[in-house]
Amino acid sequence: MKIDILLGLQWGDEGKGKIVDALAPGYDLVARFQGGPNAGHTIEFNGVKHVLHLIPSGIFHEGKINIIGNGLVVDPVVFRNEVESLGMATASIRERLLISVKAHLIMPTHKLIDAAQEASLGDAKIGSTLRGIGPAYTDKASRKGLRIGDLLRKDFIEIYRSRVNDHLRMLQGYGYSSDLKELEDEWFDSVEFLRQFRTVNADHHIDMALQSGKRVLAEGAQGTMLDIDFGTYPYVTSSNTVAAGACTGLGVAPGRTGEVYGIFKAYCTRVGSGPFPTELDDDAGRMMRDQGNEYGATTGRPRRCGWLDLPALKYAIMVNGVTQLFMMKADVLSGFSEIRICKSYTVAGKEETELPYCLDDIEELNYVSFRGWQCDITGCRSWDDLPPEMKDYISYIEKETGVPIAIVSVGPDRSATIYR
């Protein structure tokens, strides 16, 4: 068997949680491969909304194993709060949730460093979620990180104190001080809670699952345009969000990957700072935000909204090797008299369909327009139910990308999904 990969193709917030939840019945194991509590995967069913930050989105399905992979950074406090918010018995969650011993820990001082670094940037802020993600990944790359497996070491406290002292010296350089005691008390209480869960060598566990014929789905977080290497650097996250990140984040060889499911919204959104070519600062943008409830699931920040960016989408498809596309939040575009897609850019006086190195070099956006649909599509459950204007919109995207759109989401509930 090969591992299938599901990931976002834009700037995050595409709706990955809903689709993983919808696909989970067809898999035996769901594994997150990167990111941390900066993710906010939203799932709605039976009239209840759940937001997952660390736990894979297959957790609500009995008999499915969920793995927090080695590519993640884990905040014990967020983990505990998330487990307790699920409305499920902790014992039940322990039966279906495994944590890689190689995943890194977010320490209280990582959050303080995150805040200090962001404040030091002034008007050039990156737009960090201030969850300690970047500093934790920095320690990982500097070979100074604490891992889940270190919790089992007898000298864990000594190692922890050594890392904290390093961080405090760094904070002094920023002129930043804070009382750690309250933060540490909560953190260590949560560490004890975390110890109740089963830790594994996730790479070996996934390998054995594949060898035994089990189906495994790798779940990404954030989106391709936030990838540390291929995104709109430096306004990116601190991990590899692309398909290759599933290999390093779970210990899976490239030759053992199968389908790559690319998720995108029928329009574009972005949270925080950074270039966003098709951003709309007008009534259309506000209508998208209001109809789509475009506010961050993790931060609550209003998302910037804009028309679909086809060059960016094609780029994301290319670097991920996407085999199937899933369109999310198509219902949000209901009621627009005109819907637009950016088909190319003008750069240095020439029409370009490739992303330039610097998006600020884009001089003009070249759009193609479509008639909007005026009906409510949230009750549609088949391709035949969709209005012809929406079918034209979907068919154009398929033609331009060369990749089939296999799923169309027409509402937040797991049932509001059209499979083609």
Give the tens place of pLDDT for each residue, 301-341: 899 999 999 999 999 999 999 999 999 999 999 999 999 99
Does 298 have pLDDT greater than 70? no
* Strand (E) or helix (H) holding 134: helix 133-141
So what's the pLDDT on residue 229? 97
pLDDT the model gives residue 297: 66
Contacts 24+ apart (CB under 8 A), 154-163: 160/107, 163/107, 163/109, 163/139
DSSP-assigned letter for residue 128: -
Examine the pLDDT at 54 and tell me if it is beyond 90. Answer: yes
Q: What confidence score (pLDDT) does residue 399 get? A: 98
Contact 21, 43 (CB under 8 A): yes
- The confidence score (pLDDT) of residue 78 equals 96
Supply the mean pLDDT for the chain: 94
Work out the end-to-end distance of the chain between its first and last CA atoms, rounded to an integer number of angstroms: 24
Listed residue (300, 282, 371, 301) closest to 333, CA to CA: 371
The burial of 350, by beta-carbon neighbours within 10 Å (0-12 exposed, 13-18 middle, 19 or more buried), is given as exposed
238 phi and psi angles, rounded to 5 deg: -105, 20
| Residue 222 falls in which region: left (phi positive, over 0), alpha (psi -120 to 50) or beta | left
* pLDDT at residue 352, as a whole number: 97
- Token readout for 199 is 């830790």
Please state at what angle helix 310-320 crosses helix 388-401, rounded to 10 degrees.
50
What the block records as the tokens of 257 is 């990957």
What would the DSSP string read from start to end of 203-234?
A: HHHHHHHHHTT--EEEE--S-GGG-TTTSSTT
Using a 10 angstrom Cβ sphere, with 0-12 exposed, 13-18 middle and 19 or more buried, the burial of residue 204 is exposed
Mean pLDDT, to the nearest integer, of 406-419? 94
Q: Which of these ranges, 5-14, 44-53, 311-320, 358-367, has the smallest mean pLDDT?
A: 44-53
Active site residues: 13, 41
SS3 state of residue 156: helix
What does the pLDDT look like over 12-43, one tens digit per residue?
999 998 999 999 999 999 999 999 998 888 88
Contact (Cβ atoms closer than 8 angstroms) between residue 159 and residue 150: yes
pLDDT digits (tens, 9 = 90+) for 55-68: 999 999 999 999 99
Q: Could you tell me the pLDDT band of residue 280, with boundaries at 50, 70 and 90?
A: very high
pLDDT at 243: 98
Cis bond before residue 275 (omega within 30° of 0) = no
pLDDT the model gives residue 118: 84
Which of these ranges, 13-22, 243-252, 362-371, has the smallest mean pLDDT? 13-22
Q: Which residue has the tokens 């007008």?
A: 282
CB 24 within 8 A of CB 217: yes
**What pLDDT, on the 0 to 100 scale, is given for residue 44?**
85
